[in-house]
Chain A
Amino acid sequence: MLSFNFLDLFQGITTLISSPPTILFGRLGLIFLGAVLLYLGKKGVLEPLLMIPMGLGMIAVNAGVLFLDPTTATHIVSGTAAGPDAAATQQLAAQAASGHLPGTLFMSPLVEKTDSLMYLMQVDFLQPIYTFAFSNGLIACFVFMGIGVLLDVGFVIARPFLSMFLALAAELGTVVTFPIAIALGLNPGEAASIAMVGGADGPMVLFTSLTLAKHLFVPITVVAYLYLGLTYGGYPYLIRLLVPAKLRGLKMPPKPMVKVTSDEKLAFSVVGCAVLCLLFPSAAPLFLSLFVGVAVRESGLKYFIAVIDGPILYGATMFLGLLLGVLCEASTILDPKVLLLLVLGIIALLLSGVGGLLGGYAAYFFSGRKINPVIGIAGVSCVPSTAKVAQKEVSNVSPDSLILPEALGANICGVITSAILTGIYITIIPLLGK
């Protein structure tokens, strides 16, 4: 009679109970966290476009662990760059050969060797998207292209100096977190990657960490997107803490709105793209993606706008969320540095918010107390969340006070300054080792 172990039928449970306690509780904790993210996304507390696929991905990848067949497992072990512990690598290889290596059929993010990658692309259903769109930054560029189509650069062209000054002030966290991270034991590449969370721009963090700290890009990107979702909920408290109600309600004197034509906006996108690519070729894919979005919008190419604004932006966002969720598999994400990254990420965003408001105060004093300091928070480039947060906080105190045009100008410049800082970090950090 045929006999088999009953638990082999339900390998998700078998792998759970046979794993070490850290992985067991890690998997259970991440399944619970996935459900929480999904719930908060549905309730609108966090960004639903990202959190719903991400939450479900986290649940599925941590529940769906099985014992991989020896061929697949061997490809995963041999295709991954060997760690410093040779004995541990040998033990993994033996485990893989005996068919007792736990894994999933989603993707294997740490595999680098081409032969193994080609094999795994025929096994893991998300591996092709991960290899061809995620790990080379294409998905980040798609999101940036979509942001470009949504941006009206007329707000920047109308008040470039104020917008750029506020955006620069709101990069405080991106700069100050770097030495803090170094002091806490991270290397320069890791420190710069986590510091970029202060720029509040998901694609930038993804791009920087893929370039400078590939081994930590999973936890860094996950931390970044989690916190970016929280800015909408957290920054109003920061504004109320640092700006008294009297100043929050300050009405800015009406200024005739400068009419900027689409030709002028197009000229800006052409020259801006050329200059920034000349200065930072390593971040040129990001600059091109952003400005191609702006150029398409200003050229009135309605079919292109429909493609970028629809399938490209939302398709990329959905797969970004799904891949981020699937990357949160317990054995991949439970790195001892994750707690440190969580702390540094919140420091970076908090300091950027404070820096933005300090910039707002500086603008308030230099303008003869005419500019509402709350605009400063919009320099944090979480387009358009922080601009909307600024307007909402002002409207709560003074319903007929309008700061949105200036706030959007600072917001768009925030994207540009974040891209500039990304370019500087990914150019300078590799030179340090030379």
Chain B
Amino acid sequence: MQVTSNAGQLVTQVLAGEVWPPLGDRHGFRVDPDGNAFLLPGMGGVTLGAHCGDPATGYAADHLEPGLSVRHRDQAANYALQYLTCVGNTVVVTSGPAAGSEGFVIGQHAYVLVDMPEPALRSVTAGDQVTVFAVGQGLVLLEHPAIKVKNCSPRLLAALAGGTDAGGRLRVHVAARVPAEAIGAGAGMASEYANTDLMGAYEVGGEDLSLGLHGLRIGDVVALADTDHRYGRGYREGWLSIGVISTGSGRLFGHGPGPSTIMSGPAEAFTIIDDPDANLAVLASVLPQKEHA
């Protein structure tokens, strides 16, 4: 993105995390939009076969978390991990047979979510330790004071298309525009924690549930209409938030594929460009070494 920022002044914090197992309860089943019971994988652990650029929906899964799902055992250390980690941060596996393998953060979902090449993912399991090079909180776009940036690494900012346009607005390329009606679970929570579930992209149910979001892909950059996510995730007419799709298929009613927020501001501060290539896959164009060299 062609934009001036304070990226050169940001510090990197080295944070420890652990690949967390999927969690269940003794009742097993949950309830879908029509009241039918389901029991599906997707949340926690190491989820294979779903990477940036792949479809976000169409899986037999609930709360699909691509790649690694990472937490810290200590509550305060975990909050630091969840709040300070940013999309695009480098993650290195430090224990187990995949030790030394690298991936990058695609978002938060009460876990830090990490995409890695499939061969490395196959060797990671719950309990393996990872190191996150956390940098990005505090990022400021110097010519766009109305826009608040969060959860966005300098590496992602550099890789995104767009930038300051002739009229002084921030041009952002998005793969999809999300209507306010789609905002599901996650509303009212801090923008630095978990993500916003989008409704209307279920694998089950009738046309009356659809909000036209079945084409979303993992890693897509999206625009969320009428949202102000500067200090928490809320509805606000005439405002706009930019997110990246970090979770996929959701079967639980009121849930679904979800964006992690990276920017928010008044709609007039942005120029939105529809671009099917607006996806975290662009991170490959910016080498991670620039971030924690």
A and B are interacting partners? no
Instruction: Name B residues whose Cβ lies closer than 8 Å to a Cβ of A.
Output: none
Instruction: Name A residues whose Cβ lies closer than 8 Å to a Cβ of B.
Output: none
